[in-house]
Amino acid sequence: MFKRISTVLIWSENHRALADWYRDKLGLKASKELNHPDDTGVIFQIGDTQLWIGQHSEVKGKNQDSARHMFNLDVDSVQEAYNYLKSKGVEFIAPPFKAPTMDYHFASFLDLDNNIVQLIGFK
């Protein structure tokens, strides 16, 4: 019945600034932009999943509950991705560490709106 997660949506009071942050810091390229009064945002394609950064009238300010949700970005090397993002000024809340229950490494950072994004991969 359920096949996959097709899109991760992040709503923002200022979608443009947040989308620019993902472009500038992570090097993502927008695959589509919508500028309709009732549907405004930027779509980034990451593998077979879309990341939607959109404007939402109910969202005000930065995320006050950062730990409520997060999404993982698969990388070949967490340490290399960490070093690259640190050089771009990305604020990490957890530097690279090995998971206690599996052979993966993780590192977590905050985006411009204080949403947590986590890197996952090998060392």
Q: Which helix (H) or strand (E) holds 114?
A: none
* Domains in the chain: ranges and CATH: 1-56 (3.10.180.10), 70-123 (3.10.180.10)
Check: CB of residue 31 under 8 Å from CB of residue 45: yes
- Tokens found for residue 120: 């996952």
CA angle 16, 29, 22 (to 5 degrees): 50
| 89-109 confidence digits (pLDDT tens) | 999 999 999 999 999 999 999
The sign of the dihedral angle between the CA atoms of 15, 86, 79, 64 is: negative
**Is the pLDDT reported for residue 88 higher than 90?**
yes
- Tokens found for residue 97: 């560490």
| 8-17 confidence digits (pLDDT tens) | 999 999 999 9
